[in-house]
Amino acid sequence: MRRGLVITFTLFLACLGIPLNSVHAASGAPFKLPYPAGSAYTITQTPGSGYSHNDDYNRHAVDFSMPTGTPIVASAAGTVYFEGWSTGGGIMVLIDHGNNVCSQYAHLSSTIVSAGGRVAQGQRVGLSGATGNATGPHLHWNIVYCDSQLSRTIPDSVETGTSYPTGYAPVSQNSGLTLRPDGERVSDFSGDGVADVLGVDASGNLQYYPNNGYKLSSPSRIGQGWGAFKRVMAADWSGDGAADVLGVDASGNLLYYPNNSLGLAAPTRIGQGWGAFKQVVAADWSGDGKADILGVDAS
């Protein structure tokens, strides 16, 4: 009877289109999927596909369809071996995991890491795109030999093992929280695991200064009209791994500005009557990986 139940359950999973070995995905697998936990993107090319994954450079690669600007995260901890332009792969990142094993992230629209920098598993390395030899926006994910970029092996991921059937959309478990217990990084605007600097200048411009190897890069203006704000804070309110901006305006409204690919989306009012508070700070008081608001009122 038990054997019959197992067979029935297996057939049920197959009818749903769920790869059977994903049910038994190994927690000890070396990699996690290259996009943030909870996200799911459809596989459009599987290892060995006859379209373009049939040569020595792409034989074991996986392609995920996703809109341009989707956050891409490191599949495992390592050191950035290469960041820049590759003729076929467009904007590309290679992360060295030791023993000449690199994970490859190709066709990106932008990167936020530099060669030689350390990255944690789940740390954002860039945004997806369609650069290089690409027919549309997607991520090309591959495990390669670092020195030659020849495809080395099918990625063995916690979520799916080594099974990547076309049309399947696996859900990522790549939160990176095991290497970063404090999932809410108050001033990490770029999502690369290190603090950046945000400031309001004398003209009321909100300026973003990226951390570039523990030095500051040239600023980018990400907002105007901030001179009248009583409080301005950086905090990961959304819980996506990159800091957003919270501010108390001249009318005492507490406004939330989502981080939208290193820019600010339209604000949402999340509170009123904050103008009289003596101090307002953002911190992950609850420990859930998202920022909370703490304040000292007039009393």
Please, which residues have CB within 8 angstroms of residue 270's CB and are 6 or more apart in sequence? 246, 254, 255, 256
* Residue 192 CA from chain centroid, whole number: 9
What local confidence, expressed as pLDDT, does residue 113 receive?
87
Nearest to 133 by CA among 74, 57, 234: 57
Q: Which of 71-80, 172-181, 257-266, 268-277 has the lowest mean pLDDT?
A: 172-181
Q: How confident is the model at residue 289 (pLDDT cuts 50, 70, 90)?
A: low
Tell me: pLDDT of 176 over 50: yes
How confident is the model over 189-196, as a mean pLDDT?
73
3-state secondary structure of 5: helix
Nearest-angstrom CA–CA distance, 248 and 251 = 8
* Cα–Cα nearest to 28, from 156, 164, 208: 156
Tell me which residue of 242, 174, 208, 193 sits closest to 79, measured CA to CA: 193
Statement: residue 184 has pLDDT above 70: no
pLDDT at 43: 96
- For 196-212, the pLDDT digits (tens) are 888 899 999 999 888 77
Confidence tier at 5 by pLDDT (50, 70, 90): very low
pLDDT digits (tens, 9 = 90+) for 20-79: 444 444 445 789 999 999 999 999 999 887 777 878 899 999 999 999 999 999 999 999
- pLDDT attached to residue 15: 43
Q: Does the pLDDT of residue 99 top 50, yes or no?
A: yes
Write a three-state SS string for 122-164: CCEEEEEECCCCCCCCEEEEEEEECCCCCECCCCCECCCECCC
Percent of residues, the chain, with pLDDT higher than 90: 53
Give me the pLDDT at residue 6, please. 40
For residue 52, the Cα-to-chain-centroid distance in whole angstroms is 26
Residue 297 has pLDDT above 60, yes or no: yes
Tokens of 109: 């629209």
Whether the Cβ atoms of residue 290 and residue 276 lie closer than 8 Å to each other: no
Q: How far is the CA of 277 from the CAs of 251, 252, 281, 294, 299, in angstroms?
A: 12, 9, 11, 10, 9
**Hey, what domains does the chain have and what are their CATH numbers?**
19-145 (2.70.70.10), 197-290 (no CATH)
Cα separations in angstroms, 35 against 114, 163, 283: 19, 17, 25
**pLDDT at position 263, please?**
83
Query: Other CB atoms closer than 10 Å to residue 250's CB: what's the count?
Result: 10
117: nearest Cα among 245, 218, 215: 215
